[in-house]
Structure 1
Amino acid sequence: MTDTSNLKRISILGCGWLGLALAKKLLSQGFEVKGSVMQEENLEELHQLGIKGYQIAFNPDLQVCSDDHFFDTDIIISCIPPKRREDIDTFYPIQIDSLKQEAQKHGIKKILFISSTSVYPNTLDKVTEALQLTPEKASGKALVKAEEMLLQSDDFETTILRFGGLIGYDRHPGRFLSNQKKLKNGLVPVNLIHQDDCVKIISEIIRQNIWGEVFNACCPEHPTRKDFYQKAARAANLPEPEFLEDDQMEYKWVDSSKLIKRLNYKFIYTSPLDTI
């Protein structure tokens, strides 16, 4: 295994729901962790946890940077997803291009980019990292542009993680569809992953020093939408969603076998049903 003892400093761009959990984990593993937030009032939480906090905002260029020491790091992890806006397919790539420029300027050599399985179209079949990307939504198109921009750079190495839908802790799936009626696609497979697995996978990529790769990351098992959300609602003592009894199918089945093999990874939650 490649020695990672010289990779001690990690900067997490976007300490939100996933980024903050990741920051706490990496801090416990002995890394020097820097984290960014967009609002100044959120810095105190980072400081209380022992995370060096910075106010950073790409809008879409780097418009707020409380201290550019945030970019004095060995690895930068981008946890900023595309936000909902009409021009997201152009706005978000400019944000990531601005990040790329900062990485080049400060000599950062490793970038871990958190992407999404929304880069894949609904194929009615299994999808792997080898599939040609033709996303249907603007956010997926924005992510494809961002991925390509980072992977094509010779100034640093990038690993892309395409996470499925994020669940766990305060994201209770029982509330997502509770009491809704006449829902479609009840029999399609869900592509979900728990926060704990997200954090563990990122930690393993850093520990094993795996760069220049693209990985899907979803629970290996894919229960139906109906089974998952009805069980989640029951567990939360909420009214179950009701699905139409039809054969409408719009889905993709995201295959994470490459990640499992390459990292020798064992999921904490093999099935989303295990998280309920």
Structure 2
Amino acid sequence: MEKKRISVMGCGWLGLPLAQELVKQGTQVKGSTTTPAKVEVLRSAGIEPFLLSFPENSSKTDLQDFLTADVLVFNLPPSRSASEQSSYEDLLQKVLVAAPASLEVIFVSSTSVYPDLNREVQEADAVASPDASSLMLRCEFLVQQSFADSTIVRFGGLMGSSRHPGRFLAGKTEVPQPNGPVNMIHLADCVGLLLGIIQQEKWGFTFNACAPEHPTRKEFYTQAARQLGLTPPSFASQGEEKFKIINSDFIRQVLNYTFLFPDPLDCLSAPNF
């Protein structure tokens, strides 16, 4: 594959390791951050840094320069605040309007787009549309309408590096859904899947990205807390079932990808978690 110029918008927990791996492969990488102190971190990693503050970004030239690339990985997580969700759509729209039409785009989405259907769910169970109740489905639609060469990646629960799930529920009581399945994915697999899409030029897809194994919440979070020496959560009785099992067979088949951590329980004892 011809070497591409890649811009990673949002060099945080996922974006920075992805950008670093791309640099290792000899790729020209631009990376954005909203934190002035992180500019030098990016530069020292061989990433061309861009300080882009939204929505008050004053330099349109900087944004256009950042978007002068072959591939854009849009990896800015939305705020959980309902009042800020419309500004997230505005931010995305601003980026899409400023981007060249030839750009290939990966939009990092979430499996939160699926309701609890009490069954296994696949990509077709949540359809992007302009009037969807889900913010991420509306944003997926914006990306797909703006760029033919775009791919949506719906990640499950993120773990690895600084995100150890042992801290998520440690010490909590009456935690619901003890027998509900977890839908997790390790950082190493997040990076591996995104690299696969870029390298194999898999555009025009919507993918679920989640570890193939789904231990129960009680088993997973109890073991995770113990791994860190923390008090495990205590769970409520099962009650009414509310769950979903994210099926990621499609991305594995299309990319011919083998998960490094197919079972989230195996991650917990992995070195350099």
In the superposition, the TM-score normalised over structure 1's length comes to 0.91
State the partner residue of 2:271.
none
Q: Which runs of 4+ in 1 moved over 4 A?
A: 61-66
> Which residue identity lines up with residue 26 of structure 1 in the other structure?
L
Show the counterpart of 1:11: 7
CA contact (8 A) 2:33 2:49 kept: yes
Give secondary structure in 2 for the equivalent of 1:35: strand
Worse overlay, 20-29 or 240-249: 240-249
Alpha-carbon distance in 1 for matches of 2:202, 2:115: 27
Gaps (5+ residues) in structure 1?
none
- Indicate the residue corresponding to 1:117 in structure 2: 111
How much does 1:25 deviate?
0.6
Q: Give the drift of 1:87.
A: 2.4
Q: How does 1:1-276 map to 2 (within 5 A)?
A: 4-5=1-2, 7-59=3-55, 63-64=58-59, 67=62, 68-103=64-99, 106-133=100-127, 141-153=134-146, 155-276=147-268
- What is the number of residues matched between the two proteins? 265
On the 8 A contact 2:177/2:237 being kept in 1, the answer is no
Q: Call closer, same or farther: CA 1:36–1:65 in 2, change over 3 Å.
A: farther
8 Å CA contact 1:184–1:248 kept in 2: the answer is no
> SS at 1:17's partner residue?
coil
CA contact (8 A) 1:75 1:108 kept: no
- Structure 2: state its 5+ residue gaps: 269-273
Q: Greater CA deviation, 67-76 or 180-189?
A: 67-76
CA contact (8 A) 2:113 2:134 kept: yes
CA RMSD of aligned residues (A): 1.9
Report the 3-state secondary structure (helix = DSSP H, G, I; strand = E; otherwise coil) of the residue aligned with 2:14.
helix
The one-letter amino acid paired with 2:65 is: H
Matched letter for residue 222 of structure 1: H
Answer yes or no: is the 8 Å Cα contact 1:10–1:76 preserved in 2.
Answer: yes
Counterpart-to-counterpart distance in 2, 1:250 and 1:117: 15
- Give yes or no for contact 1:109–1:156 (8 Å, CA) kept in 2: no
CA distance in 1, matches of 2:166, 2:5: 38
Mapped to 2, the partners of 1:269 and 1:116 lie a distance apart of 19
**Is the Cα contact below 8 Å between 1:72 and 1:108 reproduced in 2?**
no
Do 2:113 and 2:126's aligned partners in 1 also have CA atoms closer than 8 Å? Answer: no
Q: Does structure 2 retain, via aligned residues, the 8 Å contact 1:55–1:66?
A: no
Deviating more after overlay: 61-70 vs 35-44: 61-70
Deviation of 1:64 (Å): 4.8
State, as a whole percentage, how many aligned pairs show the same letter: 39
Give, as a single letter, the amino acid of the residue that structure 2 aligns with 1:233: A
Normalised to the residue count of structure 2, the TM-score between the two structures is 0.92
| Aligned-partner SS, 1:171 | coil
Give, in angstroms, the shift of residue 102 of structure 1: 1.3
Alignment deviations for residues 51-73 of structure 1 (CA, whole Å, 9 cap, x no partner): 100011331x7545572321110
* Counterparts of 1:230 and 1:14, CA distance in 2: 32
Which residue type is aligned with residue 121 of structure 1? P
